[in-house]
């Protein structure tokens, strides 16, 4: 029986839909991404982030950390490729932190916005590059976010720049600009969640079992932290939260509840653990998932901000790098949580409880004389603690020790590490002369299995 | 929604499968919920800390009395009594080291009690000088010219022996001023020892109360258990790097340096080190009451062969103390005459350090630093 014309049309459409068309999908998604929306979310993000950074810098100075972290130590663990970075004299470091606090305020106000963001990015990243013993994922996130904001029209409709005519008001932006920032935030959560998909976290509820035992004096919840089930609840809830919350925040219908979960989750971890500004940074930055349309003075129009093609391409590349960096640990042999190879810049947060002890042996091959060095003789407790389980830092410190004596020496390290409640084991081959190794990104064959 | 759910499940399975190859982590053993950490601190405070501080006050008073007798009547007998009293007092003081936490550490009193090495040139200049030597003067001068370190210099002479010491207080020039200096320093000791005790007790700063209350997480990471563990670690590291490390040369250039022993006039270094380890051991076991070993048992901490970690640490404490007991002679002579014995003790301390700083600290979740940690 012949088909009616309308039936033929339907069949053709079905056939067409089975043959996925890249060009039509591309043009469809490109239409979505370039759709004009209110720039208000970027403004909210800019103000919240700027104020938080100003407060964070004041807190850092008030706690005496400028002196403790950047003035007192006689040795710093520089990053590979950035070995030339050195701390400034004390007055210089104080000036840097004061400027960062001030720049936080100018960013919030939208005064000289882009120069402020550029200066903040450079100064903040400089400080972070001084010593990897102080590496924190949320500091890395601050650098990344500031870098992104430099390229975006974050003055929006609400800035001093716009008010005094330094920069045109920008009520509308293409959707992709919002999603770029949201994607960066989402990656933090998502990879933090992926990292939790391991037997320690899910099957042994470690390290949360250890951490919650140590927090039993917490009001109300505290007594429950000695139970066996509570760490499991926290572990699984934390994993599901991290893995899925970027999606719940992205979906309009679940956004409100998801943000409530963000506040509860970060509020609780902030209360329980000594994690500084991290909860507040995430609570503030996830505000960018809302559309804030009620703040917009004008309806989003077709006149959106435009960026040169190369900038758009560059930002796309940036995002790709961000997608790949956390996965690089698969290129190294062994378990990243033990070897630490590919651990940084990968959103592997709150994942292991690690303790270590390093004893260096310096050997003068000419005389046969050898002696021990405990790192606490040279390092601050924080540097000592961090180095004790990170092979690249141990190698760096071995080179520093060798430089303390005039004659050429060999340096070996006896490194005992315990993680997530396991008995201590040797991390490195104690026979390895660390002077023959470089503290770079290459896999270290002398890391022993866990 | 559904897609999201499938995605999550898929990722979960992939993640578990990929990570399954890793070595097994000990499963937390489920003991009845709740461990009374404050009871642990209460026991350590009232059964170990305060009695040890009281004992030190008593030894300091005995030393002051013995020195008063000696300076009033310097004879070989009175000198011997004063020297013995010094030995007892210095052991009592070094057994307090691990309690240098919180307000005790802030008080800087330990510095005024036993700062080493003694500033011998200043002491000799003062004895030879004209300044009035009295209690006020002793209060005004630096820590290296008072306290047990100074008294060791004034009461012992390894080269000339007791005769030479006696001569300085009887026939030598300025003998009277030397007697005055020694007496004033001795009189100052019980004053400072009492002040140290009163940091803990209700008639003073009553730190015991706050110490017991702030069991694990007293806000800024100053939980008392954290502080105690950190102080144990720091004391063990000091034994390795300095107290044994320097005279053995193990942390210098490998050459023995007997002159670098911590007690260079009385040669009383080993009893001092043993006193520090002895108190640390008592803190760990809680003596007759609740200690860190009980807490490790509660946490289900095990060694690689499945025995309780608490037992391994206890065994290591015993092995370490036994190794010290086996050292013949003084540390001053042993580093050259019996280096193998001293090195054996040194190695046992290193093993003990790993067990406390790495294994025990890992189970306790002791935060060793006061900065922000990473988090999500």
Question: Is the per-residue pLDDT at B12 higher than 50?
Answer: no
A356, closest residue in chain B (CA to CA)? B358
In the stretch 282-341 of chain B, residues with CB closer than 8 A to chain A read: 299, 301-304, 309
Q: Which one of A209, A274, A354, A387 would you mutate to disrupt binding with B, by most B Cβ within 10 Å of its Cβ?
A: A274
pLDDT digits (tens, 9 = 90+) for A365-408: 999 999 999 999 899 988 999 999 999 999 999 999 999 999 99
Confidence (pTM): 0.89
Least confident stretch, A41-50, A238-247, B13-22, B315-324: B13-22
B132 CB near a chain A CB, below 8 Å?
no
Q: Average pLDDT, stretch A82-103?
A: 97
Confidence category of residue B374, pLDDT binned at 50, 70, 90: very low
Question: Is the per-residue pLDDT at A100 higher than 80?
Answer: yes
A222 CB near a chain B CB, below 8 Å?
no
B18, closest residue in chain A (CA to CA)? A198
User: What pLDDT, on a 0 to 100 scale, did the predictor assign at position A144?
Assistant: 98
Q: List CB contacts of B70: < 8 A, sequence separation 6 or more.
A: B78, B79, B81, B82, B169, B182
A67 CB near a chain B CB, below 8 Å?
no
- Do B376 and A199 count as a contact with CB atoms less than 8 A apart? no
In A155-167, which positions are buried (b, 16+ CB within 10 angstroms) versus exposed (e)?
A: bbbbbbbbeeeeb
Which of A242, A335, A376 has the CB atom closest to B237's CB atom? Answer: A376
- Do A418 and B30 count as a contact with CB atoms less than 8 A apart? no
Question: Is the per-residue pLDDT at B97 higher than 80?
Answer: yes
State the angle between helix axes of B161-170 and B76-94 in degrees (0 to 180), rounded to the nearest 10: 110
User: B117: cis peptide before it, omega within 30°?
Assistant: yes
Residue B315: closest CA among B346, B342, B293 = B293
A73 CB near a chain B CB, below 8 Å?
no
pLDDT digits (tens, 9 = 90+) for B265-301: 999 999 999 999 999 999 999 999 999 999 999 999 9
pLDDT digits (tens, 9 = 90+) for B61-91: 999 999 999 999 999 999 999 999 999 999 9
Question: Is the per-residue pLDDT at A4 higher than 80?
Answer: no
- Do B372 and A381 count as a contact with CB atoms less than 8 A apart? no
Q: Is A72 exposed, middle or buried (0-12, 13-18, 19+ CB in 10 A)?
A: exposed
B237, closest residue in chain A (CA to CA)? A374
- pLDDT, averaged across chain B: 89
Q: Which one of B6, B242, B376 would you mutate to disrupt binding with A, by most A Cβ within 10 Å of its Cβ?
A: B376
Q: Average pLDDT, stretch B12-34?
A: 43
Question: Is the per-residue pLDDT at B18 higher than 90?
Answer: no
Least confident stretch, A58-72, A215-229, A406-420, B16-30: B16-30
A335, closest residue in chain B (CA to CA)? B22
Q: Average pLDDT, stretch A47-62?
A: 96
User: What pLDDT, on a 0 to 100 scale, did the predictor assign at position A26?
Assistant: 67
B3 CB near a chain A CB, below 8 Å?
no
Q: Average pLDDT, stretch B331-344?
A: 97
- pLDDT, averaged across chain A: 91
Task: Give the residue, A66 or A297, on which the prediction is more confident.
Answer: A66
Between β-strands A425-426 and A172-174, what pairing exists: parallel, antiparallel or unpaired? unpaired
pLDDT digits (tens, 9 = 90+) for B232-270: 999 999 999 999 999 999 998 889 999 999 999 999 999
Q: Average pLDDT, stretch A305-310?
A: 82
Q: Average pLDDT, stretch A210-222?
A: 84
Paired strand residues for A410: A363
Residue A195: closest CA among A351, A66, A338, A316 = A351
Question: Is the per-residue pLDDT at B330 higher than 70?
Answer: yes
Residue B225: closest CA among B102, B373, B370 = B102
**Can you tell me the distance from the alpha carbon of A102 to that of A96, in angstroms, rounded to the nearest whole number?**
10
Question: Is the per-residue pLDDT at B340 higher than 90?
Answer: yes
User: What pLDDT, on a 0 to 100 scale, did the predictor assign at position B34?
Assistant: 77
- Do A372 and B245 count as a contact with CB atoms less than 8 A apart? yes
Task: Give the residue, A114 or B5, on which the prediction is more confident.
Answer: A114
Confidence category of residue B221, pLDDT binned at 50, 70, 90: very low
Confidence category of residue B14, pLDDT binned at 50, 70, 90: very low
Which chain A residues touch B372 with a CB distance below 8 Å?
136, 274-278
Confidence category of residue A34, pLDDT binned at 50, 70, 90: confident
Confidence category of residue A299, pLDDT binned at 50, 70, 90: low
In the stretch 188-227 of chain B, residues with CB closer than 8 A to chain A read: 215-217, 221, 223
Confidence category of residue B373, pLDDT binned at 50, 70, 90: low
Question: Is the per-residue pLDDT at A19 higher than 60?
Answer: no
In the stretch 232-251 of chain B, residues with CB closer than 8 A to chain A read: 234, 237, 240-241, 245, 249-251
Confidence category of residue A9, pLDDT binned at 50, 70, 90: very low
Which chain B residues touch A69 with a CB distance below 8 Å?
371
Confidence category of residue A20, pLDDT binned at 50, 70, 90: low
Share of chain A above pLDDT 90, in %: 77
Residue B95: closest CA among B361, B280, B332 = B280
User: What pLDDT, on a 0 to 100 scale, did the predictor assign at position A303?
Assistant: 63
B304, closest residue in chain A (CA to CA)? A423
pLDDT digits (tens, 9 = 90+) for A350-376: 899 999 999 999 999 999 999 999 999
Q: Average pLDDT, stretch A181-202?
A: 97
Give the ipTM: 0.89
User: What pLDDT, on a 0 to 100 scale, did the predictor assign at position A3?
Assistant: 43
- Do B25 and A359 count as a contact with CB atoms less than 8 A apart? no
């Amino acid at each position: 029986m012949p088909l009616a014309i309308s039936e033929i049309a339907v069949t053709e459409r079905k056939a067409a839909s089975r043959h996925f068309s890249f060009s039509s999908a591309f043009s469809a998604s490109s239409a979505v991404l370039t759709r004009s929306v209110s720039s208000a979310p970027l403004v909210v993000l800019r103000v919240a982030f700027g104020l938080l950074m100003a407060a964070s810098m004041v807190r850092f100075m008030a706690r005496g950390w400028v002196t403790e972290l950047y003035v007192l130590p006689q040795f710093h663990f520089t990053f590979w490729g950035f070995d030339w970075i050195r701390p400034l004299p004390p007055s210089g470091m104080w000036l840097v932190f004061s400027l960062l606090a001030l720049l936080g305020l100018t960013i919030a106000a939208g005064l000289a916005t882009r120069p402020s963001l550029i200066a903040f990015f450079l100064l903040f990243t400089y400080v972070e590059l001084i010593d990897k013993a102080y590496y924190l994922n949320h500091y890395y996130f601050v650098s990344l976010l500031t870098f992104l904001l430099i390229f975006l029209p974050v003055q929006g409709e609400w800035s001093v720049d716009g008010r005094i005519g330094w920069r045109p008001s920008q009520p509308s932006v293409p959707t992709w600009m919002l999603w770029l920032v949201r994607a960066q935030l989402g990656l933090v959560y998502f990879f933090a969640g992926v990292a939790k998909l391991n037997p320690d976290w899910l099957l042994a509820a470690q390290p949360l079992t250890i951490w919650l035992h140590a927090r039993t004096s917490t009001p109300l919840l505290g007594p429950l932290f000695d139970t066996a089930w509570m760490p499991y609840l926290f572990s699984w809830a934390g994993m599901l939260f991290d893995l899925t919350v970027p999606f719940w925040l992205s979906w309009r219908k679940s956004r409100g509840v998801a943000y409530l979960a963000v506040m509860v989750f970060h509020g609780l971890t902030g209360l329980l653990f000594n994690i500084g500004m991290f909860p507040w940074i995430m609570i503030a930055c996830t505000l960018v998932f809302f559309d804030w349309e009620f703040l917009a003075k004008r309806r989003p129009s077709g006149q959106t901000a435009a960026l040169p093609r190369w900038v758009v391409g560059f930002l796309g590349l940036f995002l790709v790098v961000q997608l790949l960096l956390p996965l690089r640990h698969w290129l190294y042999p062994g378990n990243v949580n033990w070897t630490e190879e590919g651990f940084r810049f990968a959103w592997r947060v709150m994942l292991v409880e690690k303790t270590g002890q390093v004893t260096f042996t310096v050997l003068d091959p000419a005389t046969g004389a050898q002696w021990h060095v405990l790192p606490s003789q040279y390092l601050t407790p924080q540097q000592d603690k961090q180095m004790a389980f990170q092979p690249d830092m141990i190698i760096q410190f071995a080179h520093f020790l060798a430089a303390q004596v005039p004659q050429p020496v060999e340096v070996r390290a006896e490194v005992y590490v315990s993680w997530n409640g396991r008995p201590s084991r040797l991390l490195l081959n104690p026979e390895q002369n660390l002077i023959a190794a470089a503290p770079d990104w290459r896999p270290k064959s002398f890391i022993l299995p866990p | 929604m559904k897609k999201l759910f499938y995605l999550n499940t898929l990722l979960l399975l992939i993640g578990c499968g990929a990570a399954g190859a890793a070595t097994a982590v000990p499963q937390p053993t489920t003991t009845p919920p709740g461990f009374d950490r404050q009871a642990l601190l209460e026991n350590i405070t009232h059964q170990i800390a305060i009695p040890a501080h009281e004992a030190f006050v008593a030894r300091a008073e005995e030393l002051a009395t013995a020195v008063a007798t000696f300076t009033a009547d310097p004879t070989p007998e009175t000198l011997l009594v004063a020297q013995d009293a010094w030995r007892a007092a210095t052991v009592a003081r070094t057994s307090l080291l691990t309690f240098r936490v919180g307000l005790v550490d802030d008080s800087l009193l330990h510095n005024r009690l036993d700062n080493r090495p003694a500033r011998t040139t200043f002491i000799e200049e003062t004895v030879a000088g004209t300044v009035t030597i009295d209690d006020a003067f002793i209060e005004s001068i630096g820590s290296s010219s008072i306290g047990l370190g100074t008294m060791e210099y004034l009461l012992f002479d390894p080269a000339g022996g007791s005769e030479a010491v006696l001569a300085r207080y009887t026939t030598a020039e300025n003998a009277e001023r030397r007697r005055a200096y020694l007496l004033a320093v001795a009189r100052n000791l019980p004053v400072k020892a009492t002040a140290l005790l009163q940091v803990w007790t209700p008639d003073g700063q009553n730190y015991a109360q706050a110490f017991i209350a702030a069991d694990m997480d007293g806000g800024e990471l100053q939980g008392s258990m954290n502080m105690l563990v950190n102080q144990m670690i720091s004391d063990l590291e000091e034994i390795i790097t300095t107290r044994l490390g320097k005279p053995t040369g193990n942390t210098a250039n490998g050459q023995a340096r007997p002159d670098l022993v911590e007690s260079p006039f009385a040669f009383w270094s080993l009893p001092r080190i043993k006193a520090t380890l002895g108190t640390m051991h008592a803190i760990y076991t809680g003596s007759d009451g609740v200690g860190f070993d009980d807490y490790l048992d509660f946490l289900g901490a095990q060694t690689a062969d499945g025995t309780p970690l608490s037992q391994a640490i206890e065994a290591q404490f015993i092995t370490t103390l036994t190794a010290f007991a086996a050292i013949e002679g003084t540390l001053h002579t042993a580093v050259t005459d019996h280096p193998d014995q001293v090195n054996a003790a040194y190695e046992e301390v290193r093993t003990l350090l790993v067990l406390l700083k790495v294994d025990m600290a890992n189970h306790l979740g002791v935060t060793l630093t006061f900065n922000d940690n990473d988090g999500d």
